[in-house]
């Protein structure tokens, strides 16, 4: 009698195929939710890093304006990244990019110079700017996967500047 009970118990142990399938489906659902959450967290982290890079460029551009003899803003990003490391406007860790598509790194920004041509008419191109009055810094918004529509700015980026406020300001992508 005792021998029959042992054999019966051994037969009843284990999992059925249905139970295993239910466990696999539950694990799959949990994995999918985790991946989706991870993608959102990564996008927000990259956005925060891109904003920090743009903010650093704006701060260094403002330092450049106060430290430079001409009190103008930098015409290119290279004026900041190529400066001596001892200057207050030296910038490292940020690179220039056209930003037509998602950059490889959140530290890639688009640099725009704003300025006047020394005449009433606004300059028609980046090369026509004779006095850089400000900068616009665009960064990639990883949450929308588009170039930001709210750039960080420093100085005069629109309107009038110059003596008596008679020169029109225009902004252009200035390259690196």
Taking only the tens place, the pLDDT of each residue in 61-85 is 999 999 877 678 999 999 999 999 9
| Pairing outcome for strands 170-173 and 108-116 | antiparallel
* Tokens standing for residue 11: 């037969």
* Tokens standing for residue 112: 């725009």
Residue 173 near residue 110 (C-beta atoms within 8 A) = yes
Residue 113 near residue 172 (C-beta atoms within 8 A) = yes
* Distance between CA atoms of residues 61 and 55, nearest Å: 10
pLDDT at residue number 53: 95
Residue 152 near residue 58 (C-beta atoms within 8 A) = yes
Count the helix, strand and coil residues of the chain and give each as a percent rounded to the nearest 5: 40, 20, 40
* Distance between CA atoms of residues 55 and 13, nearest Å: 64
| Percentage of the residues of the chain whose pLDDT score is greater than 70 | 91
The answer to pTM > 0.85 is no
Range of the domain at 22: 2-173
For tokens 């110059």, what's the residue? 162
Coil, strand or helix at 20? helix
Number of folded domains that form the chain = 1
For 126-159, write each residue's pLDDT tens digit.
888 988 999 999 999 999 999 999 999 999 988 8
| C-beta atoms surrounding 118 within 10 Å | 14
Least confident of 6-15, 21-30, 121-130: 6-15
171, HSE (Cβ side, Cα atoms, 13 Å): 21
Coil, strand or helix at 163? helix
> Residue 56: which residues within 8 A CB-CB, separation 6 or more?
91, 93, 94
């Amino acid at each position: 009698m005792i021998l029959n009970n042992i054999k019966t118990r051994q037969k009843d142990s284990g999992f059925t195929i249905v139970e295993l399938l239910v466990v696999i489906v539950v694990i799959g659902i949990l994995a999918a939710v985790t991946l989706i959450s991870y993608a959102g967290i990564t996008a927000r982290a990259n956005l925060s890093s891109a904003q920090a890079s743009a903010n650093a460029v704006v701060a260094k551009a403002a330092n450049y304006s106060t430290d430079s003899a001409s009190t103008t803003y930098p015409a290119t990003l290279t004026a900041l990244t190529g400066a001596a490391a001892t200057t207050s406007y030296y910038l490292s860790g940020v690179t220039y990019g056209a930003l037509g598509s998602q950059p490889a790194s959140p530290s890639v920004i688009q640099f725009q110079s704003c300025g006047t041509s020394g005449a009433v008419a606004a300059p028609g191109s980046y090369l026509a700017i004779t006095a850089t009055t400000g900068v616009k810094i665009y960064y990639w918004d990883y949450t929308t996967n588009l170039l930001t529509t709210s750039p960080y700015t420093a100085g005069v980026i629109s309107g009038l500047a110059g003596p008596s406020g008679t020169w029109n300001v225009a902004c252009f992508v200035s390259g690196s």
